[in-house]
């Protein structure tokens, strides 16, 4: 797996990452969603450097300009519900992309720390021969992304696979490296320290879905 770490140098990305982690601004869900969206836009720009381009001619008012445009067909897919603001950030830049949405959540059958991943609802465009971009803010154990990936592969075979996450734990990255194809690209805005005993990211930011849309039952 080819891993791209995006926050190793100073940039406005780190500014937005700091704000989404800050408990003093967590009561402002609109600000949280907007910052996740901004992070998605920055990640989309970085990811765009790995896409394929075709030469084109543009007619301007004063002449012809030779330039390039994206040749790849993209399908953006987010994991509900936390992935929606990140999805929007990518869609702001890849406005011609097709889209998909999949629900996946931790199911605790014994009401303890053990969980499995339930993948239920999905609505996605044809992915055959296209670039699949799977986005989810948090990469904790990696089980949700692998479960969603396996479900999507029942629908076809993409040309390339890109996975974009805002915050990742080393354990989740190792899990993806074990269970996903080697040719996948993983885009990480920020790498954190570890998972805690409940398998949540530390220092992390809390529950991204709750911070974006309110507490769930």
pLDDT tier, 108 (very low <50, low <70, confident <90, very high otherwise): low
CATH number at residue 128: 3.40.50.2020
Residue 109 pLDDT greater than 70, yes or no: no
Count the alpha carbons within 13 Å of 50 in the hemisphere toward its beta carbon: 20
* CA–CA distance, 210 with 165 (Å, rounded to integer): 17
Strand 201-202, strand 194-195: pairing? antiparallel
| Torsion sign (Cα): 20, 22, 25, 29 | positive
| Whether 160 contacts 185, CB under 8 Å | yes
Kindly report, residue by residue over 188-212, the tens digit of the pLDDT: 999 999 999 988 999 999 999 999 9
Q: Three-state DSSP class for 99?
A: strand
Output the six-digit token pair for 114: 């053990």
Kindly report, residue by residue over 122-138, the tens digit of the pLDDT: 899 999 999 999 999 99
Kindly report, residue by residue over 90-102, the tens digit of the pLDDT: 999 999 999 999 9
Which residue range is the domain that position 186 belongs to?
Answer: 2-213
Using a 10 angstrom Cβ sphere, with 0-12 exposed, 13-18 middle and 19 or more buried, the burial of residue 81 is middle
Residue 107 pLDDT greater than 70, yes or no: no
pLDDT of residue 120: 81
Number of domains in the chain: 1
Q: How many CB atoms lie within 10 A of CB 59?
A: 8
Kindly report, residue by residue over 14-57, the tens digit of the pLDDT: 999 999 999 999 999 999 999 999 999 999 999 999 999 999 99
């Amino acid at each position: 797996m080819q891993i791209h770490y995006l926050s190793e140098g100073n940039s406005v990305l780190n500014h937005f990452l700091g704000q989404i982690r800050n408990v003093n601004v967590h009561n402002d869900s609109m600000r949280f969603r907007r910052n996740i969206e901004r992070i998605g836009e920055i990640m989309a720009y970085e990811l765009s450097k790995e896409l394929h381009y075709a030469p084109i001619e543009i007619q301007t008012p004063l002449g012809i300009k030779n330039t390039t445009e994206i040749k790849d067909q993209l399908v953006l897919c987010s994991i509900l519900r936390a992935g929606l603001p990140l999805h929007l950030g990518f869609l702001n830049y890849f406005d011609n992309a097709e889209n998909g949405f999949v629900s996946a959540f931790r199911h605790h059958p014994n009401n303890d720390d053990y969980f499995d991943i339930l993948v239920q609802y999905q609505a996605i465009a044809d992915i055959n021969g296209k670039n699949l971009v799977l986005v989810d803010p948090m990469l904790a154990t990696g089980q949700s992304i692998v479960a969603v990936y396996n479900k999507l592969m029942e629908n076809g075979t993409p040309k390339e696979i890109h996975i974009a996450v805002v915050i990742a734990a080393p354990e989740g990255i190792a899990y993806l490296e074990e269970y996903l194809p080697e040719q996948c690209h993983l885009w990480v805005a920020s790498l954190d320290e570890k998972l805690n005993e409940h398998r949540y990211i530390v220092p992390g930011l809390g529950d991204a879905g709750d911070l974006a849309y309110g507490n769930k039952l």
